Chains A and B, each alone.
Chain A
Amino acid sequence: MITIENLVKKYRDFELNVSLEIPDGQVCGLVGKNGAGKSTTIKSILGLVRPDSGKVIVMGKNVADMKANDKQNIGVALAESGFSGYLTVNDVIAILKNMYEDFDEDYFRHLCIRFDVPLGKVIREFSTGMKAKVRVLSAISHKAKLLIMDEPTSGLDVEARNDILDILREYLKENEDCSILISSHISSDLENLCDDIYLINDGKIILHEDTDRILSSYAILKVDEETYGKMDRSYVLKEKKESYGYRCLTDQKQFYMENYPEIVMENGSIDDLILMLTGR
């Protein structure tokens, strides 16, 4: 669905240099700290920024050659950009109806009612969570084969975040062929949604792993100085000095469980990956 080959985009104090692949029907998470390059990657996929070099291919077409009509199959929700705040949701419905060939007005209205989105109020008077819902609903209401979501849950309370994730889960259930690229720095949101995760830091992909493998094989080992000195560290990806000794990230949990049963171990999470691999 999306292929990025050696995409390079240089700014004065930042350089993005990434390659990634999202197969058809796959849900892919792009995680990383603020300023890591997630939004620039997404903007490159959407043709909103032009790469200095490299190729971005979306649904078989080079993004640079994509025509307006090719975007009919893409649903987009961006973190800090949406419909003008001076429009109402009723206006948005009228616009989408005339913008997308497959816009499903009944479905959109149904979801608005379900998630208490007022139809006649101007968007700028909405809460942050409500605005996020409008963005996501707009992206999923025209039977898009590819959804691109940049931080759709950013700045939302738990309830609003769950609502957004529920919307996406239901969409996936009803559209199994759909691919999703979703970026977030709240990685716990992605653990139940994504098939695989790309971890980006300082403009580079530093890890690509199946979500299931992260949750089943990655772990945090908490070891004192003595154990740290004598243990086999071949499978330690990163360690950090702590007051009690060392905190180590491994992708071979089983190995340490079998050989060092005395080590205190915590199951791995995407947040641990970010903290250990990108933290200071």
Chain B
Amino acid sequence: MKGLLVKDMCLMLQRKQTLLLFLIISVVMSFTFEGSFIVIYASMLMMIAAMGTISYDEFDNGFPFLFSLPIDCKTYVMEKYAFCFGMELVGMIAGLILMFVSSMVTGKPVETDGLIAGTVGSFLGMAMVCAVLIHVQLKYGIEKSRLVLFGIYGVIALVLLLFTNYFKAHPIAEATGLVRAIIDFAIRNPALLLVIIAAVRVGIIFVMYAVTVRMMEKKEF
């Protein structure tokens, strides 16, 4: 695992210019957008950069050699999770620092209410998306995974559109039945709702990990 982490860190550092560009964009964003947007944005950039190491592993038919090293599929997937989540955390911490620094420079106060819950929630949300993307990239490879991702984005857009249309036709204030019950529950127990959402995200990450390991173990190189 340590060797793989070193490899991914070396690959990341080969892209110093990209990382520098990300930093500049993040600094500009921290002064342009108010609130915790920069925290999510910076962590997302780092996560995407970390996921790029899968493409480097695949580059020039690299997988057969990689899996002849003393690693197994489980270690490989676990390392990708550790590296991507780690980089996401680095981005998040950098985003928080930028948010506070920009607040001090501009004199605009930082909204601290729910900051921790929001940060943890968005970390888990992005980690969940990352787990899905890692699976798609490893299963379909660089080229095919782009098409698959377009498909996934299409499905997400369709679901959002259906939800929007539904709530346009049935305003939340007039909701009844199950939707009303969920809304009432959320109003009464906001903290518990956040915990449930976080637990669902963690659950999905674990399921994706198990599915990805299984898929890799079946794969031939």
A50–B6 Cα distance when bound, in Å, is 29
Do A98 and B3 touch (CB < 8 A)?
yes
- B70 interfacial contact with A, CB 8 Å: yes
The stretch from A20-28, A74-82, A175-183, A268-276 touching chain B is A74-82
**How many angstroms between the C-alpha atoms of A74 and B67 in the bound complex?**
12
B2 partner residues in chain A, CB cutoff 8 A: 98-99
Given contacts A43-B221, A84-B59, contact A122 B14 (CB under 8 A): yes
Instruction: Enumerate A92-114 residues with CB–CB distance to B below 8 Å.
Output: 94-100
Interface residues of B in 27-76 (CB under 8 A from A): 56-57, 59-72, 75
A48-B64, A98-B3, A135-B65 given; name 20 further pairs at CB < 8 Å.
A43-B221, A48-B68, A50-B220, A68-B71, A71-B68, A71-B70, A71-B71, A72-B70, A80-B61, A84-B57, A84-B62, A85-B59, A91-B10, A97-B6, A99-B2, A99-B3, A99-B69, A100-B70, A124-B60, A148-B68
A74 touches B11 (CB 8 A): no
Chain B, residue nearest A123 (CB):
B60
Are B72 and A67 in contact, with the CB atoms below 8 A? yes
Are A76 and B220 interface neighbours, CB within 8 A?
no
- Indicate the member of B7, B63, B75 with the most A CB atoms within 10 Å: B7
Count CB-based A-B contacts (< 8 Å).
94
A50 to B2 alpha-carbon distance, docked (Å): 27
Partner of B10, one of A76, A85, A95, A124: A95
CA distance A138 to B2 in the complex (A): 17
Q: Are A94 and B220 in contact (CB under 8 A)?
A: no
Q: Given the complex, which residues of B lie within 8 Å of A69, measured CB to CB?
A: 70
List the interface of chain B (C-beta within 8 A of A). 2-7, 10-11, 14, 56-57, 59-72, 75, 220-221
Of all A-B residue pairs in the complex, the 3 with the closest CB atoms, nearest first, are A99-B3, A91-B10, A81-B65
Bound complex: CA A87 to CA B59 (Å): 11
Find residues 14-53 in chain A having any chain B CB closer than 8 Å to their own CB.
43, 46-50
- A5–B77 CA distance with the chains assembled, in angstroms: 32
Nearest chain B CB to A42's CB is how many angstroms away?
9
Candidates A70, A81, A122; contact of B61 at CB < 8 Å: A81
Residues of A in contact (CB 8 Å), total 36
B69's closest neighbor in chain A, by CB?
Answer: A99
Question: Is A83's beta carbon under 8 Å from chain B?
Answer: yes
A78-B64, A98-B6, A99-B69 given as contacts; is B11 within 8 A of A84 (CB)? yes
Give CA–CA (A70, B70) in the complex, Å.
7
Q: Which residues of A contact B62 (CB under 8 A)?
A: 81-84
Q: How far is the CA of A98 from the CA of B69 in the complex (A)?
A: 11
A-B contact pairs, 14 of them (CB 8 A): A43-B220, A48-B67, A67-B72, A78-B64, A78-B65, A81-B62, A81-B63, A84-B57, A86-B56, A94-B10, A95-B3, A99-B2, A99-B69, A100-B70
CB distance B70 to A84 under 8 Å? no
B61 surroundings in chain A (CB, below 8 A): 80-81
Question: For the complex, what is the distance from the CA of A72 to the CA of B61, rounded to whole Å?
Answer: 22
- Inter-chain contacts of A81 with B (CB < 8 A): 60-66
Closest CB-CB distance, B136 to chain A, in whole Å? 20
User: Is A74 in contact with B68, judged by CB distance below 8 angstroms?
Assistant: yes
